[in-house]
Structure 1
């Protein structure tokens, strides 16, 4: 009697539609349809529809919904491995082609923090537009670290030096974190002169700063305060609250430019560098190179006025 060997369970094959791979990976990585839609620049309903179509084609459920988000099902783990392999190969090809691209036209994605993008970067892009009218700069704002290897951005302005050997980083500026208040607030409550004085003032808390070890001094100020009047994860919202005289908060020293705020003479001893970061495989492409060179030159032009230690910090260094 001839027996048929048992079938080995094989992962369903996702090959066939690259868009399906992108949608599947986005949900797997972000844990939700809404976050995946944001990443893919589409609608949440579109993401859901594409995932349902993929599940019908593969004949398997791909995600389980939990309280904390969407999780890949055991049956889909093999699909995830295939998708990640496809993404790795595709982005490698894309990076290589971007590095060979000689076209001075198309989109260049620049990642930057909310405050730096609004206060400094965007106002300076008009000259780039005049020089290279066919280049469209897409400014991606947020504190999240986008992956340049997978082309989530073409270059990034970061406050830390990357560790990956494939990333090229140039230090383009420096700033210290300073305490700011609006004139109307100072008129009513005064301007604090010493760190201990902050215990008597209203505080606007930019909560995302507490995840940074360098911000420990400010975290301690917030923890000691008995009058935190607002908490927000948005630097823009924190800035607007301070401008509306809600209280004091901490911002990069370059915030004194263009904002009607007054810097308190208190040294938190928090100094940070600004790095312009690109990927070694893509930064040779003509339009990406043009944007890198332009932004780097603008940093150089504005370094003394915008991106150097504040007067209070310099005075403290001289005194020491």
Structure 2
């Protein structure tokens, strides 16, 4: 099958328009149309339904588009590996992680990363959905459980627990609870059990809700929970890594916490030699080591 025709077909299917595809490929609309007709004739099928408002893929067109999309992602992966030089780190790195970890832990630290690698552009994708790394939906992932996808390089980074925290200002105006039942005198801030989150966090939320707490604020991510706690709205369930960097947070009910949540970094086997991946992995590991030392200094103080 003629790859040049497939390349043009992919551009048309992606754009939904002969004109827009032609602009991307620097070809005239008539040239693009001729290539699509020739491809349809070679396959003896119709790939697009033609409407006044654009083009819609037929069932056969969808099948071919799935194939060209997979081929394009593989080519992008090969291209990325070729561009990685032996001495420099540059280009784009697509990183996926959860909303909470990405917004509360990773994003605030990226300024340190850019000091060493100013020419590397990071596309940070915060999503609870697990992206398909082998299909190159992202280059590297940080997840709150061990990835189950095949052909991935995995590294366990750290362990996290969900704990109860309040702001110092809030506790100056409200009595510190001494047992779980005392939470009935406070507003609990947490993720709703129906929102996407690690099972250990949802289990802790369900356990505390079983005490029939009268005042409740639920948010669908930990970033929102943290903002509510910082603004003195109540006592919140938060991942323990946020308290190390926020001295205004005070742990409440130290005996109450979730089970351990393992944090893993993963990337496709085919990117094992990538300089971009290595730089990012080493940076994350180094930041975790710094945080661990800071936590130990706080405990010993």
Answering whether residue 275 of structure 2 is matched by residue 286 of structure 1, we say yes
1:272 aligns with 2:261: yes
Matched, 1:142 2:127: yes
Q: CA deviation at 1:15?
A: 7.0
Matches within 5 A, 1:5-20: 16-20=8-12
Q: Does 1:222 align with 2:209?
A: yes
Per the TM alignment, residue 163 of structure 1 is displaced from its structure 2 partner at its CA by: 1.3
**TM-score, normalised to structure 1's length?**
0.69
Is 1:305–2:291 an aligned residue pair? no
Q: Distance in 2 between matches of 1:218 and 1:180?
A: 14
Distance 1:146 1:163, change over 3 A: same
Query: How many residues align structurally?
Result: 254
Q: Check the 8 A contact 1:204/1:229 in 2, yes or no.
A: yes
Moved more, 285-294 or 15-24: 15-24
Q: Within 5 Å, which residues of 2 pair with 1:98-247? A: 98-103=80-85, 104-207=89-192, 212-214=198-200, 215-247=202-234
CA distance in 2, matches of 1:171, 1:289: 15
Look up the match of 1:251.
Answer: 238
Q: What is the aligned partner in structure 2 of residue 9 from structure 1?
A: none
Please give the alpha-carbon distance, in whole angstroms, between the structure 1 residues aligned to 2:179 and 2:196.
Answer: 21
C-alpha distance after superposition, 1:137-196 (max 9, x if no partner): 222223222222233321111110001221111011112110111223223332223233
Shift of 1:272: 0.9
Structure 2, unmatched stretches of 5+, are 17-46
Shift of 1:14: 8.5
SS at match of 2:271: coil
| TM-score normalised by length of structure 2 | 0.72
* In structure 1, distance between residues paired with 2:264 and 2:49: 47
TM-align CA RMSD = 3.1
Q: What is the alpha-carbon distance in structure 2 between the residues aligned to residue 16 and residue 203 of structure 1?
A: 56
Structure 1: give runs of 5+ residues left out of the alignment: 1-12, 25-56, 62-72, 312-320
Q: Which residue of 1 aligns with 2:68?
A: 86
Contact kept? 2:191, 2:205, Cα under 8 Å = no
Query: Contact (CA 8 Å) 1:102, 1:287: kept in 2 or not?
Result: yes
Q: Within 1, Cα distance between the matches of 2:106 and 2:145?
A: 18
113 and 296 in structure 1: CA distance in 2 versus 1, 3 angstrom threshold: same
